[in-house]
Structure 1
Amino acid sequence: MYDGYWTPAAGVRNPHTEGFTDRTRFLQKLLKAIYDERAAQQFYRVMYDRAMTMFQKRSIQHAWNDEIKHERMLTHLYRSLTGSEAQVPIPGPPEIADFERSVEQALEDELAAAEHYREMYKMTTFREVRDLLLELTLDEMEHATRFTYIRAAMP
């Protein structure tokens, strides 16, 4: 059963030399994605505390939990492709002026993340990696939908 983590199986093409249009660029985008997932976690932690309704809190908590899952999936992928740990800094605490603006920022960030994963998807022919990236893309689109509902329900 596919568990969202990719590990090259015996007999599979060598992920160090094949399967990517530009492996170096793919790894750069992968490191950026790990950083962005960490930043999103911190952003949602602050947003959650400022949310005013249970609907807002549930939606933010759902996205927050997914971002934690995404970071784990991506760091595992990086380790599988390189044999080393991803050297990614921990983002600083987010600046949130007001809740309404943070919802708009979250929506923009989720759409940008979906686009980022779509670009990465096109850079590889490994089915398992593409499956992982498709899952991430769909999760980010779901988050964008949730933030759209939050925004629409605000006065």
Structure 2
Amino acid sequence: MHGYPIAFPHYWPSLVREPGLGEPRDRGLAADILRAIHREERAANYFSRLMELAPNDNIRTVLDIVRDERIKHAQRFSEIYRQLTGREPQMRREEVPAPESFARGLEFAIRDELAAADLYRDIADRAVTLTIRRGFTRAAEDELRQSNVLMNMLARLGVS
């Protein structure tokens, strides 16, 4: 039979932790994942504040969906962080100021979504396991989709 052998475990990604040590080999990766968790928490809080300024219920519903996705990302990233480091992520409950207007808030949210997508693609590229790569690739795709939704919302409001 030609092709790859059926079982080749030594080619699979190795575990992140060194044997006998509780610290991951790539401390920068763990720090970036923790940064991503904090980013998602702040974003979820920001969308809650933005929902207060929404001009109608349809927009509030869309923002609620985006906020829920950010919460799911934070939960997924927290699980990855626990698997990577063996520790719980230290959460920072930060009060997020309300945007000065709904349109300005959307503009900021769009920039934040695009910056998050870049960070998550970077983390996915440096991932040492398939779980991390898939989790952050999916999150980057979600962020790009959400930025499109927000851009369309901004365009419908007549703000350019």
Map Cα deviations across residues 1-38 of structure 1 (whole Å, 9 max, x no partner): xxxxxxxxxx96221149xxx71111111111011101
Cα distance in 2 for residues equivalent to 1:126 and 1:133: 11
Q: Which residue matches 2:59?
A: 56
Cα distance in 2 for residues equivalent to 1:94 and 1:153: 25
Structure 2: unaligned runs, 5 residues or longer: 1-11, 20-24
Contact 2:50 2:102 in 1 (8 A): yes
TM-score normalised over the length of structure 2 = 0.83
**Higher RCO (C-alpha 8 Å, min separation 6):** 1
Q: Which residue matches 1:8?
A: none
Contact 2:40 2:71 in 1 (8 A): yes
Q: Which residue matches 2:75?
A: 72
- Amino acid aligned to 1:124: A
**Residue 46 (structure 1) shift:** 0.8
Q: Which residue matches 2:9?
A: none
- Amino acid aligned to 1:48: M
Contact 1:35 1:91 in 2 (8 A): no
Task: Give the fraction of aligned pairs with identical amino acids, expressed as a percent.
Answer: 23
**Residue 62 (structure 1) shift:** 1.3
Q: Alignment length, in residue pairs?
A: 142
Q: Which has the larger radius of gyration?
A: 2
Which secondary structure state, in structure 1, belongs to the residue aligned with residue 58 of structure 2?
Answer: helix
User: Cα RMSD (Å) of the superposition?
Assistant: 1.8
Q: Which residue matches 1:119?
A: 122
